[in-house]
A = this chain, B = another copy of it.
Amino acid sequence: MYRSHTNGELRIENANQEVTLAGWVQKSRDKGFMVWVDLRDRYGITQLIFDEDRTAKEILDKAKTLGREFVIQVKGTVIEREAKNKNIPTGEIEVLVKELIILNEANLPPFTIEDETDGGEDIRMKYRYLDIRRNPVKNNLIFRSKVAQEVRNYLSNQDFIEVETPYLIKSTPEGARDFVVPSRMNQGEFYALPQSPQTFKQLLMVGGMDKYFQIVKCFRDEDLRADRQPEFTQIDCELAFVDQEDILNIFEGMTRHLLQKVNNITIGDFPRMTYEHAMKTYGNDKPDIRFGMEFGELNSVAQQKEFKVFNDAELVVGIAVPGAANYTRKEIDKLIEWVKRPQVGALGMVYVKCNEDGTFKSSVDKFYNQEDLAAWAKATGAKAGDLICVLSGPANKTRAQLSALRMELAERLGLRKPTEFAPLWVVDFPLLEWDEESERFHAMHHPFTSPKPEDMPLLDTDPGKVRANAYDLVLNGNEIGGGSIRIHDKETQALMFKHLGFTPEEAKEQFGFLMNAFEYGAPPHGGLAFGLDRLVAILGGQETIRDFIAFPKNNSGRDVMINAPAEVTAEVLSDLNINVTIPKA
């Protein structure tokens, strides 16, 4: 027992108790005749006091030698503080020290162990074990643990069984790139690390497990975009004998449970929105609905005049930016520059200021009169004081551009409040999407996703219009989960493969053993998967997943702390029967 109490535990009620504490020296103040030390551990900070009247000289002298981040153990008496600190729970007391043991010295850390540190990202990642001592990182990890445990509590109470699926599986040619693992015992052969347990969870349904979940690491060897990790964590779920409605209800319940338990927020029924509606209204299949700025389509009111740009466009669409009518010319020009950045790609932007006096001032006054612009304001819901931003062009591209602008403006206007939560379901995703390159339809989700029965006839006439029983759970503009009802009967599956351009032989080759399994009595089933890293970050009011991962990798897939990946010895390669084909650096 190195301690009788943690450093977050003592209160005024403990006054006069003899206690033993241990922890790190957060900071010390040496007044000569008196030394104060803030002693820190995971649970909090307790102030220690050494003084020449009440502490033995050699202890006081030793206290003067303590450096930041030294690990110490003290015995002493809890006393009431003269100057109380209302900011910390232990702020009413301090510990008058009688014994001091230095358990371990510490080099000066390369950055300050404070909430606001002086260390940049790179140095903090290299010394991540010191970064974790800082409250923001530590609290994120504790928060993550709590979210995971609450997920398990909820699903276990709903009769879900957590089943561990294998990590050493088989590489599949489709989809994203696998990480592969050479097998020493099976020469020339490789395992693959799972991109998700999709196949195994469907097999568990064939196996009658009925309700499965797993919190599981998945792996994807992609060129890393910002805030993607080569290894990431999924809450993976699958259920048998359910339809879409059952799944939405259960996982809406889970999300509500999490919001209640970890954020102390009660949320009612989640709105449901079709994919089509989301795209038309927000230009995005994961809309942030914490704020308005819904799209107003202006074709009917903007294409009757001489403005060729709009007349030639497939879509003219605008949003009303609340209270932005007073933007200066310079501010608006900057906005126009912003939408013209290659990442957004608009060719320009038309704007209308809705003046407080009810008049309008636009960048296209040459073509449109006040009545025209009033119609625009009506279509976009703009009120006096708002700024209407209008983009035009091909429908899909223009929607995506306006969506980017909408999110950017919401961010600037402080409308994306991290403590406000607005979940919704986006449903009725298209079953198929056209691939320009191969000039055929591909499954948007995967080839086992079930089409909506009522849309089946469209498969022959207008495949792009067929909707799937596929759904995403969206929270504050982020997709936090998604899934689908799977096809479980041979006839639909055969039809599906036909429309995806597979011969029966090709289908067998690519999806062989899952299709085999389906021959032995597959139940109706479906499921979904949540991205735990993102879910935790968003519940934690942040969007950077790296801040919620204990030991993340950088954008080159490196762990800079342990310096991985690294070269391996010739002996290792020889055991595995592989060669590296590039010369050593």
Residues of A at the B interface (CB closer than 8 Å) are 1-3, 22-24, 40-43, 69-71, 103-107, 109, 127-133, 138, 141-142, 144-145, 148-149, 152, 156, 161-171, 173, 177-193, 199-200, 203-204, 206-211, 217, 219, 221, 223-224, 230-231, 233, 241-243, 245-246, 488-490, 513, 517-524, 549-551, 553, 556-559, 561-569, 572, 574-582, 584-585
What's the nearest-Cβ distance from chain B to residue A110, in Å? 9
**Pair A521/B24 contact, Cβ less than 8 Å:** yes
**Pair A104/B522 contact, Cβ less than 8 Å:** yes
Point out the residues of chain B lying under 8 angstroms from A565, CB to CB. Answer: 168, 170, 181, 183, 186, 189-191
Number of copies: 2
**Pair B185/A556 contact, Cβ less than 8 Å:** yes
**Pair B520/A109 contact, Cβ less than 8 Å:** yes
Having A2-B242, A170-B562, A187-B582, one finds 19 other A-B pairs with CB under 8 Å, namely: A23-B241, A40-B208, A41-B210, A104-B518, A128-B207, A129-B204, A144-B163, A163-B550, A166-B231, A166-B553, A168-B230, A170-B566, A180-B182, A185-B223, A186-B565, A190-B572, A577-B580, A578-B579, A579-B579
- Cα-based distance from A199 to B162 in the complex (angstroms): 27
**Pair B572/A167 contact, Cβ less than 8 Å:** no
Residue of B nearest to A489 (CB): B104
On whether A167 and B231 interact (CB within 8 A), knowing A148-B162, A562-B513, the answer reads: yes
**Pair B161/A243 contact, Cβ less than 8 Å:** no
Point out the residues of chain B lying under 8 angstroms from A181, CB to CB. Answer: 179-181, 193, 565
Q: Can you sample 30 A-B contacts with CB below 8 Å?
A: A40-B208, A42-B209, A43-B210, A104-B490, A104-B521, A104-B522, A128-B203, A130-B206, A142-B161, A144-B164, A164-B550, A168-B564, A168-B565, A169-B559, A170-B564, A171-B568, A173-B569, A177-B184, A178-B572, A180-B181, A185-B223, A186-B557, A188-B585, A192-B568, A199-B562, A200-B550, A217-B217, A574-B581, A577-B580, A578-B580
**Pair A563/B513 contact, Cβ less than 8 Å:** yes
Point out the residues of chain B lying under 8 angstroms from A156, CB to CB. Answer: 145, 149
What's the nearest-Cβ distance from chain B to residue A118, in Å? 16
What's the nearest-Cβ distance from chain B to residue A226, in Å? 15
Point out the residues of chain B lying under 8 angstroms from A133, CB to CB. Answer: 207-208
- Cα-based distance from A126 to B70 in the complex (angstroms): 57
**Pair A1/B231 contact, Cβ less than 8 Å:** no
- Cα-based distance from A210 to B6 in the complex (angstroms): 10
**Pair B187/A138 contact, Cβ less than 8 Å:** no
**Pair B563/A170 contact, Cβ less than 8 Å:** yes
- 10 residue pairs, one from A and one from B, having the closest CB atoms: A132-B207, A106-B521, A170-B564, A189-B565, A2-B241, A42-B210, A183-B565, A69-B521, A129-B203, A129-B207
Point out the residues of chain B lying under 8 angstroms from A171, CB to CB. Answer: 566, 568, 572
**Pair A208/B513 contact, Cβ less than 8 Å:** no
On whether A167 and B241 interact (CB within 8 A), knowing A42-B208, A129-B206, the answer reads: no
**Pair A241/B22 contact, Cβ less than 8 Å:** yes
What's the nearest-Cβ distance from chain B to residue A42, in Å? 4
- Cα-based distance from A567 to B518 in the complex (angstroms): 25
What's the nearest-Cβ distance from chain B to residue A539, in Å? 16
**Pair A523/B163 contact, Cβ less than 8 Å:** no
- Cα-based distance from A43 to B208 in the complex (angstroms): 10
What's the nearest-Cβ distance from chain B to residue A167, in Å? 5
- Cα-based distance from A471 to B145 in the complex (angstroms): 28
What's the nearest-Cβ distance from chain B to residue A499, in Å? 21
**Pair A168/B231 contact, Cβ less than 8 Å:** yes
